[in-house]
Structure 1
Amino acid sequence: MTQPDQPSDRSTRRTRATTSDGERYTAHVANLRHALEVAGDRLDPSVAAHARSVLAGADERLALGVDHTIIALAGGTGSGKSSTFNAISRLSFADVGVRRPTTARVTACAWSQSATALLDWLAVDSERRINRGSELDGDAELGLDGLILLDLPDHDSIEPAHREIVDRILPLVDLLIWVVDPQKYADEALHAGYLRNLAGSESSMIVVLNQIDTVAPGGRASLVADVSRLLEEDGLVGVDVRTISAKTGEGIEELRATLRDAVSKRSVAASRLADELDREGRKIAAEVRPTVLQQLSPLVQGEVDRVAVAVGVAAVVDDVRGVVRFGGVRESDAPRFRAPQESAVRVIRSRWITKVTDTMRPTWAQSVDTAVPTYSELSERIVAALSAVTIDTTGSVGGRRARTIGWSFAGLAVVSGIFSLLLTIGVLDLGTVWKALAGILTILAVLGTVVSFVVGARLRAALGEQRAVIVRDAALAVLREVVEREFVGPAQRVLDEHTDVRESALSARDSSSTGRVAEV
């Protein structure tokens, strides 16, 4: 038997409009199964195999239902288990046409409409079942919905099969009620065969002294004290010992109140399933560490810069700037991006995978390595992307016009200068006015020449810078697309799967233990 959870684990589940344990753990199982499917062969094979085994068992438990509370009455021959059973259920089997139960086989009373599968699994014969749901009598049965009350065979029967039934069912019950009588409570078969083996289960066990009506009032306290002493000698400290009389009804209402309290808590089946799912979720989460990168977008620019260096983007940009500045060339003679060296792409790819898979387990790191294209594929895709970049190295129209004007001014300056020289040395004698005009014209022509050539140079330089920026931006844009598609995309998909597996595994854990997520 396992210890039932404290009341804080779940408030009265059948009187509040909350998700049932069955619904919650069905979702947990689906999350854990999703984690296994996404992880595939990237988990430790033994961890994955064990988790699948647990899920198979969980499916079976959920099919039986984990929202039932199993309470069993156990005891020896003549202790009054059957009469206690009838007193608690407030039904007589004879009243509903069923043969009065004996202690040779398990008898069950179910406060549930969906207990058939569980009772089948518990091997309760169909003629030894009563569905209490059809016999509700007002508020008297409130708080017992979902209860399965079992009357077990006598533990001291000479039939080995009877004891086997008791031994099989005891670990499954949420609350075990040992029914003893004032004459046989010290029976060694009870203490040596069962009670001493249940140390640690005190909070999920009650010992009731039946037939207390046969004991004088003055001797009841000492009788209870003696039972408690024997239990402590068995290693069972603090077991609830109480007195009842199935015949007179003394103590029965208090016992039913205890049953209602047990029903309000999480069942043993739910607790065990929660523990198993929690454990498997932790194991899987340990395979997918939380320190792995979540988003790769912040790393994109660095990789774009590295690829740009490998293909010589800066050199091409400088060539375009220089060619256009000095007048431009035909498209066939324009600078071209070079194919990246194999070693450079190898290094870039290797550094990328190392950065992405840092702290990953080897199987996940291998998954990233497989997802990212090979260095030769990367080289081909980089070259193909850059081939789409238009490199315009045609010269500046304004620059050519400024140059033409400059040469025209230069020619005028030469002619007017010669004319001015001839006037100055007296070869020509046209008067002072013409000499002055020739000098002024020469000066203006020279200034026009200088201005035209400067303007032309600046127009070509500006256009060269503009064309260089266009080529640079276009090249970096296509390289970013390559990096995001070939580097980031495949790796991010693996990282998303890594995160999905971890989150799904952790979400398979019960909400009562969410505070321990950071420990995984």
Structure 2
Amino acid sequence: MSTTIEDRVADGADQGFDADALIRLRAQITEALDVAGDRIPAPAREQAQVNLDRVDQRLQLGVGHTVVALVGGTGSGKSSLFNALSGLDFADVGVIRPTTAQAAACTWGSRAEELLDFLGVAPGRRIQRDSVLDHDEHTGLHGLVLMDLPDHDSVEQGHARQVDRLLPLVDLLIWVVDPQKYADNVLHERYLRTLSERQGAMLVVVNQVDTIPAHTEGQIRDDVGRLLSEGGLDQVQILLTSVREGTGLGQLRERIAQVSASASVSARTARAQLEATARTLMEHLGPAQPEPDDAETVAENLATASGVASTSEAIREAVASPRQVLLDPLRRPARSRIDAIRERWLAKATVGLPRAWQESVTRHVASPQTFYDHLWRALSKVELSATTEHRSRRMRAFAQGLLGLGVLALITGVALWVLGIAGVLTGLSVAAWVGVGAGAAAIVAGLALRLWARRRRRAAAAERASSYLSRATHEIRQVVAADLIEPTAGPLAEHDQVRRALTTL
């Protein structure tokens, strides 16, 4: 029965590996490529797809399997060590007999058929352990694939090529050497020295130590360590083993169990390949997401450049003035100032973007001439506010009348009072005081009304100036939104979407 990539990846869940993460990361890159389209150069897109196909291949194999390979030369005792580690005697099976001519494999808890097919292990060269029946020394090995590779020093070139093909796929390389041939030049020059970057995933086992005097074991360990160090492999662990006496087998099983408990090389390689692909694609994006000014800010700048702010101030002064003031109509703004604001906004909207993304952002933006024409058309339909405030003007005229009457009444009262004092006329003192009081009251009322009219006029002036500025800015903002913001919103959002997808791996 066929299975999906998701099924294969899920095999790694029981090893503590976040299997779904690889599917999610692969989907993020796929989505980023779809969204970016031809804004990512074709060679980069094609290489990314090749990388994704390779990851898919690894996912199909199941990233939950840990592959441990025994590698060594003729007579090193790999097969006997393989039998000891697996706990299965292949000779008893009959037709299944491990040899150094073909790779053999033993799996724990999972048949790993697809992986073994890919590794080139023939069906007749596969053994499976039932993890339920495993004893303590096999605990924690679920998902392990233990391989016995052909002799690397075989005279048949096909054996060496098979070893070369399998080495990049294994999680732990166990180089098995015997006490007499541990300095083999083929091993050190052809293989070990070329794998210095993988020394953390390698182990050298000096096997068959039961064939040498016990007092020479330390000398051999030191000699092997020296040879490894000369080849840049000073971090490779060295173990001495003997299948016949059981020497070092416990340490070797413990090391294999440690590797089995971690994410497999397929999982690590798949993730590394996804991350490397994302980094490569990021080279074709901006270093940061552009943040252009919003429509409100641009509209305010254009309002100032277009003289809208000056006209608004002129309206305020005209309405606030007690005299009739005629306003000049708004004049066409200088084209150069409008172009400068447009170009400044576009520069911020495309800062740091590669050419393809810049062209994507600016492709549908209104041209300088079109933007200027739209701006002037919008401003032309904004009516100037009235410069006369009729109610306050009527109140001021009434106040002036009161002041005039008050002054007249005051003068008359004072005159009558003076005449009464002089005795020229009699009985005028009461009329004089009435005239003075009425005059004073009229003057106070007139002054109060003038003050109220003045405040009313100033409030109306501020309100009408603000109204004109608001209406004009609104019209400008509509032009900015239609000619600049909206045409660039889609490409900028897509650039941000691609960046987020590639930077959250």
- Do the two structures share a fold, i.e. TM-score over 0.5? yes
Match of 1:169 among 166, 171, 179: 166
Shift of 1:138: 4.2
Matching residue of 2:337:
344
Alpha-carbon spacing, 1:111–1:294, altered in 2? closer, same or farther (3 Å): farther
Match of 1:29 among 15, 26, 31: 26
Shift of 1:169: 1.0
Alpha-carbon spacing, 1:486–1:217, altered in 2? closer, same or farther (3 Å): same
Structure 1 segment 348-427 matched on structure 2, within 5 A: 348-370=341-363, 372-379=365-372, 381-382=374-375, 386=379, 392-393=385-386, 395-399=388-392, 401-402=394-395, 405=398
The 8 Å contact of residues 14 and 264 in structure 1, kept in 2 or not, is answered as no
Matched, 1:313 2:312: no
The 8 Å contact of residues 209 and 244 in structure 1, kept in 2 or not, is answered as yes
Match of 1:69 among 60, 66, 71: 66
Q: How far apart, in 2, do the equivalents of 1:358 and 1:301 lie?
A: 20
Cα RMSD of the aligned pairs, angstroms, is 4.7
Matching residue of 1:86:
83
Structure 1 runs not aligned, ≥5 long: 1-12, 424-429, 509-520
Matching residue of 1:50:
47
Matched, 1:139 2:140: no
Matching residue of 2:205:
208
| Structure with the larger RCO, 1 or 2 (CA within 8 Å, 6+ apart) | 1
Q: How far apart, in 1, do the equivalents of 2:374 and 2:259 lie?
A: 67
Shift of 1:270: 3.6
Shift of 1:88: 0.8
Q: Specify the SS of the correspondent of 2:363.
A: helix
Matching residue of 1:269:
266
Q: Which amino acid aligns with 1:152?
A: L
Q: Which amino acid aligns with 1:374?
A: S
Q: How far apart, in 2, do the equivalents of 1:435 and 1:231 lie?
A: 130
Shift of 1:237: 4.7
Report the number of matched residues. 485
The 8 Å contact of residues 412 and 445 in structure 1, kept in 2 or not, is answered as no
Q: Which amino acid aligns with 2:61?
A: L
Q: How far apart, in 2, do the equivalents of 1:314 and 1:220 lie?
A: 93
Matching residue of 1:153:
150
Matching residue of 2:249:
252
Q: Specify the SS of the correspondent of 1:148.
A: strand
Shift of 1:149: 0.9
Give a deviation string over 1:212-271, Cα, whole Å, max 9, x none: 444454555555556556656766556544333334543322221121122234433344
Shift of 1:170: 1.9
Q: How far apart, in 2, do the equivalents of 1:68 and 1:151 lie?
A: 16
The 8 Å contact of residues 104 and 153 in structure 1, kept in 2 or not, is answered as yes
Q: Specify the SS of the correspondent of 1:105.
A: coil
Alpha-carbon spacing, 1:461–1:155, altered in 2? closer, same or farther (3 Å): closer
Give a deviation string over 1:453-485, Cα, whole Å, max 9, x none: 776566445433332222223333444455466
Alpha-carbon spacing, 1:184–1:320, altered in 2? closer, same or farther (3 Å): closer
Matching residue of 2:278:
281
Alpha-carbon spacing, 1:347–1:205, altered in 2? closer, same or farther (3 Å): closer
Alpha-carbon spacing, 1:388–1:412, altered in 2? closer, same or farther (3 Å): same
Alpha-carbon spacing, 1:34–1:415, altered in 2? closer, same or farther (3 Å): same
Alpha-carbon spacing, 1:214–1:450, altered in 2? closer, same or farther (3 Å): closer
Q: How far apart, in 2, do the equivalents of 1:237 and 1:449 lie?
A: 105
Q: How far apart, in 2, do the equivalents of 1:214 and 1:403 lie?
A: 124
Alpha-carbon spacing, 1:108–1:412, altered in 2? closer, same or farther (3 Å): same
Q: Specify the SS of the correspondent of 1:109.
A: strand
Q: Specify the SS of the correspondent of 1:207.
A: strand
Give a deviation string over 1:322-356, Cα, whole Å, max 9, x none: 66567999xxx998655655443322101222244
Shift of 1:89: 1.0
Alpha-carbon spacing, 1:439–1:335, altered in 2? closer, same or farther (3 Å): same
Q: Specify the SS of the correspondent of 1:77.
A: coil
Q: How far apart, in 1, do the equivalents of 2:65 and 2:286 lie?
A: 37
Alpha-carbon spacing, 1:375–1:93, altered in 2? closer, same or farther (3 Å): same
Q: Which amino acid aligns with 1:92?
A: D
Q: Which amino acid aligns with 2:29?
A: L
The 8 Å contact of residues 287 and 361 in structure 1, kept in 2 or not, is answered as yes
Q: How far apart, in 1, do the equivalents of 2:99 and 2:33 lie?
A: 48
The 8 Å contact of residues 402 and 446 in structure 2, kept in 1 or not, is answered as yes
Shift of 1:70: 1.7
Q: How far apart, in 2, do the equivalents of 1:347 and 1:186 lie?
A: 75
Alpha-carbon spacing, 1:244–1:412, altered in 2? closer, same or farther (3 Å): closer
Q: Specify the SS of the correspondent of 1:103.
A: coil
Matching residue of 2:175:
178
Q: How far apart, in 1, do the equivalents of 2:193 and 2:438 lie?
A: 126
Matching residue of 2:96:
99
Alpha-carbon spacing, 1:113–1:69, altered in 2? closer, same or farther (3 Å): same
The 8 Å contact of residues 294 and 495 in structure 1, kept in 2 or not, is answered as no
| Percent identity (aligned) | 38
The 8 Å contact of residues 35 and 505 in structure 1, kept in 2 or not, is answered as yes
Shift of 1:505: 2.6
Structure 2 runs not aligned, ≥5 long: 1-11, 417-424
Give a deviation string over 1:76-125, Cα, whole Å, max 9, x none: 33433222212111123466676222332211112253733222211222
Q: Specify the SS of the correspondent of 2:146.
A: strand
Q: How far apart, in 2, do the equivalents of 1:63 and 1:163 lie?
A: 26
Q: How far apart, in 2, do the equivalents of 1:459 and 1:134 lie?
A: 94
